[in-house]
Amino acid sequence: DYSWTEYHELNDTHRWMQNLVGKYPDVVSVFIAGQSYEGRELLGLKINHNDGRAEKQSIFLEAGMHAREWIGPATATYFINELLTSQEPQIKGLARSYVWYILPHANPDGYVYTHLTNRMWRKTRSPQDKNCIGTDPNRNWDFHWREVGASSDPCSESYAGPKAFSEREVETLSQYLRSLPEPMFMYLSLHSFSQLLLYPYGHTSTLPENHKELEQIFNAAVGAVKRRYGTRYTGGNVYDAIYPAAGSSMDWVYGVLKVKYSFCYELRPSGYSFWTGFRLPASQIIPTGQETTDSLVEMIKAAAQIE
């Protein structure tokens, strides 16, 4: 049976999502947000309680864009389980108030590769020039593409691709996001690591138009993530809080789709140790899931109060 005491292979999680449709047929469906270079589906789970509430807005949560960041997909599935099974009024309310789209594996080829061949793989798996493989899917979105903090070297870990939306995963996901019928209230991107909460932009230090609101939401979310286990987050706008990085999904959704609340979590652990940072022990999936759920509850509450 599916659990949060270990990391799962791609097919396990895809099968678990398909089974949820059978368990909650009135509430749950799967969606295909796109395809990968190697022909895999970008399979996600939609949660929509048909309780007669008109005009619901959507929240889209994407994880696993960087293949080796295993805690992202694990947290996404933990959160799905909370939305479906929690008895807490706040979480039940959240599940009912929005139409949820949750995509645990935005880069399925890369994820499979981290299980079979190279645990530290980050990019997609499409062949590029110089016999190098892969593009950084979080540098490939068509918003200030390759302007700063993105490489033109196909062998680099932050290769932006030969052109914007060159990657099938990114291009098809962008089309899917454009096609959604409900107005999107919030976009969330789960990465790891360093315990940061980030908002736009990555291409400039100029703060986004609604940065006061984003900071207010940020403060609520960072306060809540600390409540249960004392986990400390910092962050801010990408350009100043970490480094210049143009072409991310978060910035494209904010800048092109005009979704006002777009955030990226860099989950546990803290610190900068490359060799341990992506290998978060499986014993920390549940605590990470709990505190991230705490944080999301307060984040969305804070954002809803602004509206």
Residues at the interface with ligand 0X9 (CB under 6 A): 66, 69, 138, 189, 191, 198, 202, 238, 242, 245, 248, 250-251, 264, 266
Q: Which residues contact 29 (CB under 8 A, 6 or more apart)?
A: 21, 45, 46, 48
H runs (alpha helix) in the chain: 10-23, 71-85, 89-97, 108-116, 168-179, 211-227, 238-241, 249-255, 274-277, 285-306
189 vs 231, which CB is nearer to ligand 0X9? Answer: 189
Choose the one of Zn ion, ligand 0X9, none that binds residue 238, judging by a C-beta under 5 to 8 angstroms depending on kind.
ligand 0X9
Task: Pick one of Zn ion, ligand 0X9, none as the site partner of residue 208 (Cβ within 5 to 8 A by kind).
Answer: none
Enumerate residues 6+ apart whose C-beta is below 8 A from 60.
101, 102, 103, 177, 180, 184, 186, 187, 188, 253
Distance of closest approach, residue 280 Cβ to ligand 0X9, in angstroms? 13
Q: Match 């904010």 to its residue by tokens.
A: 254
Contacts of 144 (CB under 8 A, 6+ apart): 201, 203, 204, 246, 247, 251, 255
Q: How far apart are CA 102 and CA 80, in angstroms?
A: 8
Residue 165: CB minimum distance to ligand 0X9, A: 16
Q: How far apart are CB 277 and ligand 0X9 at their closest, in Å?
A: 8
* Tokens 């900071």 belong to residue: 215
Which of ligand 0X9, Zn ion, none interacts with 83 (beta carbon under 5 to 8 A by kind)?
A: none
- Indicate the residue among 20 and 235 with the shorter CB distance to Zn ion: 235
* Nearest approach, Cβ of residue 182 and ligand 0X9 (Å): 22
189 binds, among ligand 0X9, Zn ion, none (CB under 5 to 8 A by kind): ligand 0X9
Choose between 146 and 191: whose C-beta lies nearer to Zn ion: 191
The backbone torsions φ and ψ at residue 70, rounded to the nearest 5 degrees and listed phi first, read -65, -25
Q: How far is the CB of 243 from ligand 0X9 (least distance, A)?
A: 7
Q: Which residues bind Zn ion (CB under 5 A)?
A: 66, 69, 191
For 130-156, letters b (16+ CB in 10 Å) and e give eeebbbbbbbbbbbbbbeebbbeebeb
| Binds 264: which of Zn ion, ligand 0X9, none (CB < 5-8 Å by kind) | ligand 0X9
Q: How far apart are CB 13 and ligand 0X9 at their closest, in Å?
A: 20
Calculate the dihedral angle through the C-alpha atoms of 111, 11, 84, 180, rounding to the nearest 10 degrees. 70
- Establish whether 298 is a catalytic residue: no
Q: How many Cβ atoms sit within 10 Å of the Cβ of residue 291?
A: 22
* Residue 36, SS3 per DSSP: coil
State which residue, 91 or 245, has the beta carbon closest to ligand 0X9: 245
Choose between 192 and 290: whose C-beta lies nearer to ligand 0X9: 192
Rounded distance, CA 60 to CA 70, Å?
Answer: 19
- For residue 149 the two structure tokens come to 């903090």
Catalytic residue among 62, 167, 169, 266: 266
Q: Tell me which of ligand 0X9, Zn ion, none is bound by residue 303, counting a contact when its beta carbon lies within the kind-specific cut-off of 5 to 8 angstroms.
A: none
Q: 37 vs 252, which CB is nearer to ligand 0X9?
A: 252
Catalytic residues: 266
